[in-house]
Every structure is written in C-alpha cells, then in structure tokens.
Structure 1
Amino acid sequence: MLAVLNQTFTISNSSGVFCELSMDGIGTCWPRSAAGELISRPCPEQFNGIHYNTTNRVYRDCQLNGSWAPRGNYSQCTEIIVLRKSKVHYQVAVIINYLGHCISLGALLLAFTLFMRLRSIRCLRNIIHWNLISAFILRNATWFIVQLTMNPAVTESNQVWCRLVTAGYNYFHVTNFFWMFGEGCYLHTAVVLTYSTDKLRKWMFICIGWGIPFPIIVAWAFGKLYYDNEKCWFGKRAGVYTDYIYQGPMILVLLINFVFLFNIVRILMTKLRASTTSETIQYRKAVKATLVLLPLLGITYMLFFVNPGGEDEVAQIVFIYFNSILESFQGFFVSVFYCFLNSEVRSAVRKRWIRWQDRSSFRSRAVRATSIPTSPSRVSFHSIKQSSNL
C-alpha cells in the first residue's frame, strides 16, 4: 500500500492529470495512475470462491482525459473468462449431480432393503452384491455430507473434521472398486476355475472389500498430513503426488477385473455355451451385469485423468455433463443390474407378493364368514319344524 501511495504521489506531481483510485466489477483495485499509461495488476486471487494464479496480469488504460477505460483486459486470466461463459453449464451440472445422487441413493436403499428382507436368496454371490450396494450407499451419503459442509471458508480453515470427511469419502470411493474386484474374483473362480466356489468364504471378500482399502487410506492420510496438508485435503498441490497412494490401487484392481472378465467371457463363449443349468444362467447374468458396470466405473474414473483444460471450452462443457451423469447415476445402475434385474430377487419378491395376497384374501373371507348375520326366516322355519315334531 505504501508503494502504491508513493507511486501516486510521484505521478500527480509530474503530470497533474491522473485517474482516480477505482475498483472494477471483478474486484480488482486500480491505483491512482498517470494519464496515458497502461496499468497492470495481478489477476484476482479468487473469484466466486475459485482460486486463480496471481502471477498472471490484468491490464487497463488510464486515458488521457483522466478516466479509466470501461473494461480491463482479463485475457490472461483464462479461468474468469471460462467461468463467465460456462456459469450456466456449471449450474446445470450441479443440478444433475444432486438429482443423480438422490435417485441413486433411493434406488440403493431399496435394493439394500430387498437383500436384507429376502433371506431365501442369501448365498455368497448375493452377499457380495449386498456389500457392493452398501459401499455405494455410504459413498453417496458422504458425497452429500461433503456438498453440505464444504465451502471456501471451511477448506481454507483446514480443520480436522473436514479432513476426516474427505478421508471418509475417499475410503468409500476405494471400497466401491474393491467390491467390484470382489465381484470379479467370485465370477472368475466360479467360471474359470471349474465352479470351485465352495472353497470361498464370506470373510475373504469382507477383507478384500472393507479391509484392504483401510490401510491404503491411512497411508494416503499420512502423506497428505506431511506433504499436502491444506484445503481439507481436497485437490493436490503441484508436484505432490500423494493422491496416487489410493488412486493407484483403484486403477490396478480395475485392470485386473478387465483381465478377469476377458477370461470369463472366453470360457462362457466356448465351454459353457450349451449348458442350461440354473447356476450357469445366473453366472451369465452376473457376467452381463459386470460387463456393463465395470466399464461404467472405469470410464468415469479414467475421465479424471483426461480432464480437458480451460483452453477448449466446448470440450470442457462436454466433459462436465458426461462426467456428472456417469458419476451421479452409478449407484442407480448398480441397483438395477445387481438387484432389480436379478431373477432370484424378482422371483423371491413375486413369491412374497403371492403369499401376501393369499393371506389377505384368506383374512377377508374369514372376516366375511364371521360377519354374516343369522337370517330371521331360517330361525322361524327351525322353530316351526321343532314345533311340528312335538
């Protein structure tokens, strides 16, 4: 501030005509300056809650008549320009994200309830489905917690609770991939390794799905704490690669699952094509569901690495919509393919519905039978008959 005042004093003494201290609509402060000069200021540190690189400069003319040019030149502050042009698209993407996560959470809770109530279909394969759905429920729930609690002020404060929220969200994100890996392991064992599923135990998959991600996230948290301890552990600092501590295992299990699926499809197309047993049919349907969901998860996650920059606005907008739809509706797709289209679940629900209808109709018939009043005419006839016998 002293340097600016000193600059202003020198200019006013040497010229006599100058532009007054001013602030534009972006929030950039333009100091008192000599007429006819081009003044530069750093790009704003943040705008609408988003931070920018202050090493870039913005320019504005101090005109000869002592007035500022109507607008400053913000061409080097590319994010501000993109933000203005794409503001509507960002708002629509936010709506899509909230809508998709709400629909996904509702579908996941319904699927979770069905697996919990339908005890007749409790086999290892469906228990794995159930846990995958549970992982997606927890991830969707923590997404809402992140959206409702995080704001620029909170991220700047970098408090312990917000770092724990970020760690929890990333943990459940990793569990999604490891439970998908569990799905692939089960199918690979059942189809490729000659149906040796009797050797598999539930605790093995619990260790894979819930256990392995925990030390991964703990290691990531320590890395963040010592090398990138800022902004509630969201984002990453340039040159710091601590996020790859959990992103690397996710990519690894994703690639292994693609290998598993290749082997499974090869076996199904060659050896099991003629088999029509109910177990084989269930495996085929599970493979179809996994074939759809695994690329869905993989495409969504790989998009993180090919996120187009701010140079190509059209590519950025397409990425925003595409990623928002795939990311927010993942839980819905998992519920549909692993529960709502599951023939075992549908058959069990149908049997429950038929039994409920039978019980309801039986109760209604019993109520009608007990509520029929005794006819007066019948009583009179019975009395007359007894009288005649006497």
Structure 2
Amino acid sequence: MAVDFSPEDLKVIETRQFQCDEIINKSSNILGLFGPYCPGRFDGWSCWPSTPAGEIANQSCPAIMNYDPNRLVFYKCEEDGTWIFNEKFNKSWVNYTTCINIEDFEFRQQIILIYCVGYGVSLVALLVSLALLTYFKSLRCARITVHMNLFSSFAMNNFLWLLWYSLVVNDQDVLSENKLWCRVLHVVLFTFLISNYSWMLCEGIYLHTVLVSAFISERRLLRCMLALGWGIPLLTTSIYAPVRSVLGENVDELGRCWIQDGRFNKILMVPVVITVFLNVIFLVNIVRVLLIKLRKGPANGGSGSGASRTSLQALRATMLLVPLLGLNFLLTPFRPEANHPWEYVYEVVSAMTASLQGLCVAILFCFCNGEVIAQVKRKWRTIMFRPRANSCTVTTVSVRKFVRSSYPANGEEKV
C-alpha cells in the first residue's frame, strides 16, 4: 500500500531519522563492549536504540491513527542479537497493536453504531415525508415547498453521513492514502450539513414574512428562499475547501481525509451560528406579532383576523427545532476532556441528538401536520370504503330496474 506523505510529514520523518541516527551511534559504541546486541534502527515512526540481546525495548506510541500516545509499544531483541522476526510479514516487525486502547476503541465503535442507526431511521422518515408531500398534489404551496427542501437537505446529509462512516471512518487504508475522493466527500457532506441550518432559517424567515408582510408575492419569496437555502452552504464550502487544501494540508495534525476538526472548521461554524441566532430573533418577533393578533382578534372584540391554526402549528414546530438544531453547538464548550468520567455520556448524547434531528424534522413538519394527516385519512377512507360503495350502488340500481320492470308505466303504483 502506497502512502502519500505530505511535505511536512516527510520533514518530520527526516528530522526523526537524523536524531535517531545520533542515538543509535552512541548506544552502539557502548553496547559493543559487552557482547551481542540488536543494532538500533528507525522504523519510520519510532527510534529503537541498540538493545542488549534477550531484552525488550519499549517506546511511547506515536500520535498517529488511533494510537494512544500514553501507551507503550514493545520490540524484542532475541538471544542471538537480532530483532524479533514476524513470519507472517516475512520481516522484522514492530507490533503496534498495544498502542490501541481496546476499551476506548470498542466504545468508539458503539458510538459510530448509534450514529448509523440514528441516521438510518431519520433517512427513512424523511423519505416517507417527501413521498407523502409529493403524492398529495393538493398540499402544494410555497410553505410545503420550503418543507420539502428542508427534508431534502436533511435526507442528503443523513445519506452522506452513512457513506462517510462506511467508506472512510473505519477504513485505515483510505485514511492513510488520503485520496481526493474522500476529501471531496467531506466537503459535500458539510455542504448539506450547513444547508440543514440555512433551510431552518428559511422556515423562520418564511413564517415571519407571511405573518408580518401578508401581501408579499409568494413566488418571489420562494425564489429568495431557494437562493438563500442552497446559496449559503455552497458559498461557505467554496471558501472552506480551497483555504484548507492550500493552508491546512501541512499544519492540521492527523488531517487524513480531513477527518479531524482543524482550525479551518471555524469557517463552517460561522454560518451555522449566524443562522441559529437569526432564527431566534425571528421567532421572538413572530411570537410578539401573534400575541398582538390574538389580542385584536374577533374573539376579543377586535377587528383583526387573529392567528391561523396553520401559523400556530408552524410556529410551534419551528420553535422546537431551532434549539434542537443548535444543541450540538451549545454543548461544544462543555465537551469533557479525554478520559473524563463524563466523556462517554457526552458522546452518547451528542450522537443521539445529531443523528435523530432528521426524524424530529419529519415528525414536526409532516407526521404531525394537520393538513397531511387529513389527506392521509381521506385517502385511507377512499381505499377502504370504495368497494363497499360500489357494491351498494350496483345493488340499488339493480333493485330500481327490477321495480320498474314489475310495474306498469302509467303510474298506478309508485315506488
């Protein structure tokens, strides 16, 4: 397997090898006076000084891959003065498996499983929601179109996360090779992640505009929503990708496939924080407007039209989703340090809230939507009672024909 080292990695390796050569020369000169020994060597990451025969050398694990720098890696020097030989690889080989924290590794795998299950459930719910809104043509309006774009962004984001975990996270070969396609997948993934927040902002703007400026053209408003909902994420990642590829490749530690959060991730967080903050402002003003309309409504003796049931439902759904979508960023400052007792709890809560956001979107904007429920019930009644209605109609027509044929047409007997 060919590994593409960055120029910075090559410089680090050259420096380590130069330092290792000095250590080896010093240790070899001393040990040569006391009998057989294994000559020092540099394996690409760790420097192994000359070691007396029959002893086991140890080093701190290198800070690469999933290795724990606090653990030790061992290299045995045989009695004949040769390093231990591994028949499977047909060469002298350093066993770095001790560098992996098995318990932590298993926990990370469980966290990945939680993410995958949550994203899978959310994806199914979102696809069902899109199918319902597409099937019932009578539901088509600007508000439903905004909902459908929100569902689409979440569905694509969930699908891309599933690809990311299956193709990149658990494949060390892909991470070490650092191919272009995995970095492209990273950029596309975060494009749709940001679109989740931008379309939630569109939900808030649309609701605010309809309630405050009732005479605005919905077609024009929808065009603005489309430009805003997809334009914000595309603009953000079009800045993020070139900046990180040019400046971050050699400075971001463990930057294979850009899997680690580098300093350039702040570029991605800026639009997310802004959209959540603007949505909070819009929702506060929407509540203020609705309270005014409710006071001036006919029920209170005013001349105002009051607030519609649809507006109240949309407001409730939006108010529930905004804090939910921003929960991950609210929890970020409280992230426990590594090996902290609360680290596992934090990771589980974070995995569940992030992966089930799509399910919550589908429930609040589709499955609990009164219009959608009414359409589904109407369709269900039509399917269930259509054969029975046809049977009654046929029977009634048959009886009428029989009665008419049994009585004279002069009207002496009327039915």
Q: Assess if the C-alpha contact under 8 Å between 2:146 and 2:203 holds in 1.
A: yes
Q: Assess if the C-alpha contact under 8 Å between 2:328 and 2:350 holds in 1.
A: yes
Of 168, 176, 185, which aligns to 2:196?
A: 176
Q: Give the structure 1 partner of residue 386 of structure 2.
A: 359
What letter is aligned with 2:282? F
Q: Give the structure 2 partner of residue 195 of structure 1.
A: 214
Deviation at 1:175, TM superposition (A): 0.7
What letter is aligned with 1:122? R
Q: Give the structure 1 partner of residue 363 of structure 2.
A: 336
Deviation at 1:127, TM superposition (A): 1.3
Of 231, 255, 275, which aligns to 2:256?
A: 231
When structure 1 is superposed on structure 2, of 326-335 and 227-236 the one drifting more is 227-236
Q: Give the structure 1 partner of residue 166 of structure 2.
A: 148
When structure 1 is superposed on structure 2, of 337-346 and 273-282 the one drifting more is 273-282
Deviation at 1:350, TM superposition (A): 1.1
Of 145, 155, 159, which aligns to 1:137?
A: 155
Q: Distance in 1 between matches of 2:159 and 2:210?
A: 33
Q: Assess if the C-alpha contact under 8 Å between 1:138 and 1:172 holds in 2.
A: yes
RMSD: 3.9
1:156-207, CA deviations, whole angstroms, 9 ceiling, x for partnerless residues?
322221121111101100110100000010111123x253454553211111
What letter is aligned with 2:110? V
Q: Assess if the C-alpha contact under 8 Å between 1:216 and 1:245 holds in 2.
A: yes
- Structure 1 stretches of 5 or more lacking a match? 22-26, 63-79, 371-390
Q: Give the structure 2 partner of residue 113 of structure 1.
A: 131
Q: Give the structure 2 partner of residue 86 of structure 1.
A: 104
Of 305, 310, 314, which aligns to 1:282?
A: 310
SS in 2 for 1:290: helix
Q: Assess if the C-alpha contact under 8 Å between 1:178 and 1:253 holds in 2.
A: yes
What letter is aligned with 1:146? W
Q: Give the structure 1 partner of residue 233 of structure 2.
A: 213
SS in 2 for 1:296: helix
1:222-265, CA deviations, whole angstroms, 9 ceiling, x for partnerless residues?
1122112352233244xxx3222222111111111111111112
1:233–1:19 Cα change, 3 Å? closer
When structure 1 is superposed on structure 2, of 244-253 and 223-232 the one drifting more is 223-232
Q: Assess if the C-alpha contact under 8 Å between 1:307 and 1:319 holds in 2.
A: yes
1:218–1:360 Cα change, 3 Å? farther
| Larger RCO (alpha carbons 8 Å, 6+ apart) | 1
Count of residues in Structure 1 that have an aligned counterpart in Structure 2: 345
Q: Distance in 1 between matches of 2:328 and 2:381?
A: 41
1:299-318, CA deviations, whole angstroms, 9 ceiling, x for partnerless residues?
12333454322152x22111
Q: Distance in 2 between matches of 1:357 and 1:278?
A: 38
SS in 1 for 2:59: strand
Q: Give the structure 2 partner of residue 12 of structure 1.
A: 31
SS in 2 for 1:132: helix
Deviation at 1:356, TM superposition (A): 2.1
1:13–1:334 Cα change, 3 Å? same
What letter is aligned with 2:131? T
Q: Assess if the C-alpha contact under 8 Å between 1:90 and 1:320 holds in 2.
A: no
Q: Give the structure 2 partner of residue 253 of structure 1.
A: 275
1:368–1:104 Cα change, 3 Å? farther
1:215–1:30 Cα change, 3 Å? same
Q: Assess if the C-alpha contact under 8 Å between 1:42 and 1:58 holds in 2.
A: yes
* Residue 300, structure 1, aligned to residue 319, structure 2: no
Q: Give the structure 1 partner of residue 265 of structure 2.
A: 243
Q: Assess if the C-alpha contact under 8 Å between 2:296 and 2:306 holds in 1.
A: no
1:311–1:88 Cα change, 3 Å? closer
What letter is aligned with 1:231? R
What letter is aligned with 1:95? L
- Structure 2 stretches of 5 or more lacking a match? 1-16, 77-98, 250-254, 300-304, 398-415
Q: Give the structure 1 partner of residue 184 of structure 2.
A: 164
Q: Give the structure 2 partner of residue 272 of structure 1.
A: 294
1:121–1:185 Cα change, 3 Å? same
* Residue 50, structure 1, aligned to residue 66, structure 2: yes
SS in 1 for 2:342: helix
Q: TM-score, normalised by structure 1?
A: 0.75
Deviation at 1:12, TM superposition (A): 3.4
What letter is aligned with 1:133? F
Q: TM-score, normalised by structure 2?
A: 0.71
